[in-house]
């Protein structure tokens, strides 16, 4: 994980990695060790992804490195200014507007006003070559950023966070595990929750009985057709119980 906090010199280059993820934030230290574990660590070590957090203040021109200001029209809180964000995106992508972005490059604003982040959207993002994630803060981001720079405005849920940094962690984790080779087994992602529109089936391991609760007998017999049938039915039942909204369509 690299964190860029001081004066930065950029050159647009052919990506060395299968995917390049750039995070624009006012708290780059938030991500200092976040990607040093598990699947993301292995994906980084294997050259499948490069993740860098950049301090938005590096693109300010005043001596105090101000990135926010009061909203026009009044109201509580502060709003992130457009100038440093425009400068950051242009430096990272080589494009001043979203119309001029290179193929397979997306600029994503993490915002409570965005469309829902889903497994299908994660799979879509995993096909791209570069993602720039803009972490909102305070009362939000100047709307001209969304109008001119952002290809996707995304929310991870119907609740409000202090900023986009936790959302960036969620989005990156969901995306990286879908990059071919990241999980090791090419079928792992296919069999997970939401991949087929249902929740994952229940899993069991040793011992075969614990506190009076036995493992379903079908899983102990080795009949793969019966196991597959049981898993589908159990997946459907779990979805009905926990997420009936997934079955409404």
Mean pLDDT, 10 residues at a time, the chain of 249 residues: 44 58 98 96 96 98 96 94 98 98 98 95 97 95 97 96 97 96 70 76 96 97 97 96 90
Supply the pLDDT for residue 5.
47
Answer yes or no: are the C-beta atoms of 67 and 81 closer than 8 Å: yes
pTM: 0.87
If you compute the radius of gyration of the chain from its CA atoms, what whole number of angstroms results?
22
Cite the beta strand spans of the chain per DSSP E. 2-4, 19-25, 49-55, 68-69, 79-80, 105-116, 130-135, 152-155, 209-210, 213-214
Q: Write down all domains in the chain, each with its CATH number in brackets.
A: 2-176 (3.40.1280.10), 191-249 (1.10.1270.20)
Task: Report the alpha-carbon distance of residue 20 to residue 37 in Å, rounded.
Answer: 18
Say if CB 133 and CB 171 are below 8 A apart.
yes
Residue 73 structure tokens: 């029209």
Q: Provide the angle, in degrees to the nearest 10, between the axes of the packed helices 165-176 and 38-45.
A: 70
In this prediction, residue 15 carries a pLDDT of 45
Q: Write the DSSP assignment of 5-43 as a string of letters.
A: -S---------SSSEEEEEEES-GGGGTTTTSSHHHHHH
Contact status, residue 206 vs residue 62, Cβ threshold 8 Å: no
The sign of the torsion formed by the CA atoms of 207, 208, 213, 219 equals positive
pLDDT score of 4: 52
- Spatial CA neighbour of 136 closest among 23, 4, 19: 23
Query: What residues contact residue 128 under an 8 Å CB cut-off, 6+ apart?
Result: 19, 104, 105, 106
> What is the token pair recorded at 187?
């079928």
């Amino acid at each position: 994980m690299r964190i860029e906090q001081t004066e930065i010199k950029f050159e647009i280059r052919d990506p060395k990695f299968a995917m390049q993820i750039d995070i624009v934030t006012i708290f780059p230290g938030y991500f200092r060790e976040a990607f040093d574990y598990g699947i993301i660590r292995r994906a980084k070590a294997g050259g499948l992804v490069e993740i860098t957090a950049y301090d938005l203040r590096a693109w300010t021109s005043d001596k105090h490195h101000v990135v926010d200001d009061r909203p026009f029209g009044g109201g509580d809180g502060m709003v992130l200014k457009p100038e440093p964000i425009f400068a950051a995106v242009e430096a990272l992508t080589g494009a001043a507007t979203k119309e001029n972005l290179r193929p397979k490059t997306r600029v994503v604003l993490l915002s409570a006003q965005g469309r829902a982040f889903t497994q299908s959207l994660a799979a879509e993002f995993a096909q791209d070559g570069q993602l720039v994630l803009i972490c909102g803060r305070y009362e939000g981001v100047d709307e001209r950023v969304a109008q001119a720079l952002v290809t996707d405005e995304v929310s991870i849920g119907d609740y409000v966070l202090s900023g986009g940094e936790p959302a960036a962690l969620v989005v990156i984790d969901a995306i990286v595990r879908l990059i071919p080779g990241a999980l090791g087994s090419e079928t792992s992602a296919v069999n997970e929750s939401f991949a087929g529109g249902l929740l994952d089936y229940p899993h069991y391991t040793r011992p075969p009985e614990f506190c009076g609760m036995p493992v379903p007998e079908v899983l102990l017999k080795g009949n793969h057709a019966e196991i597959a049938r049981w898993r589908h039915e159990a997946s459907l039942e779990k979805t009905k119980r926990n997420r009936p909204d997934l079955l409404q369509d």
